[in-house]
Structure 1
Amino acid sequence: MIRYALACEHEHPFEAWFSNSADFDAQVERGLVECPLCASRRARKQIMAPAVTGTSKTAPAPSPEAVQTMMMQAAQKVRAHVEANFENVGDSFASEARAIHEGRSEARGIYGNATADEVRALREDGVPCAPLPPARPRPETLN
């Protein structure tokens, strides 16, 4: 297995694992490598430093609580970015995503609500979509 640092056409960095270099090339050509931020399927390799093992001690793994905190912070940043930069289409998400995919509506970033059946149908038809991380609970709703 080989890990590549990648970037999409919008310069969003991400990483992915492949069996070998030829596997990466084949998956990119088939449109199977997708940016997790914008869903662009135009990915390219970035320059990476080789992984070199040494004798120095590594830092201890973070605690499960620390990992959970980091993941929640990352999820909230993703949600905040979407809410600030994408259009909220509410309950029309499935129909609007399909219209954008089919070229019947202006291409733009959207978010909104969809049922599980609507999401399943979108994915089966090749319409890119992903769940939005849940909103942070308001303090007054917590015990």
Structure 2
Amino acid sequence: MKVLDLKCSHEHRFEGWFASTEEFESQLSRKLVACPACSTTDVSRMPSAPRLNLSSARGETAPQAESAETSPDPAALQARALHFMRKLIENTENVGERFAEEARRIHYNEAPARSIRGVTTPEDAHALLEEGIDVMPLPVPDALKEPLQ
């Protein structure tokens, strides 16, 4: 199994696991490798050094990473954002194309109060805001729209 460091055209970094380098190249050419953060298939391989666990063999401990307060790790920030998105999806009802209609029904007490998500046009979102109905656009990566394997 090959673990490759990958990066999309939007600078999101992630790992990919493949049976071989050739399998990675094959999947990449068929646009089957997609960024888990933004779903783009414009992905490239990052240079990576081999991992050698020499310190554990001698009983030494590896040096600690820098504090997140000094320099935020982009991969950690991306992981936190994906975790937040997963929680949001788990705790909201998907009303799909009926988002604007359902948001109004909830606002005017015609439907039970609950957290919803869905799809609407920018014009409908603006109209909801003008009516005093709080909405927030949140692009959900395709990787999070389906259950994880």
| Band of TM-score, shorter chain | 0.3 to 0.5
| TM score, norm. by length of structure 2 | 0.45
Q: Work out which structure has the larger RCO, using CA pairs closer than 8 Å and 6 or more positions apart in sequence.
A: 2
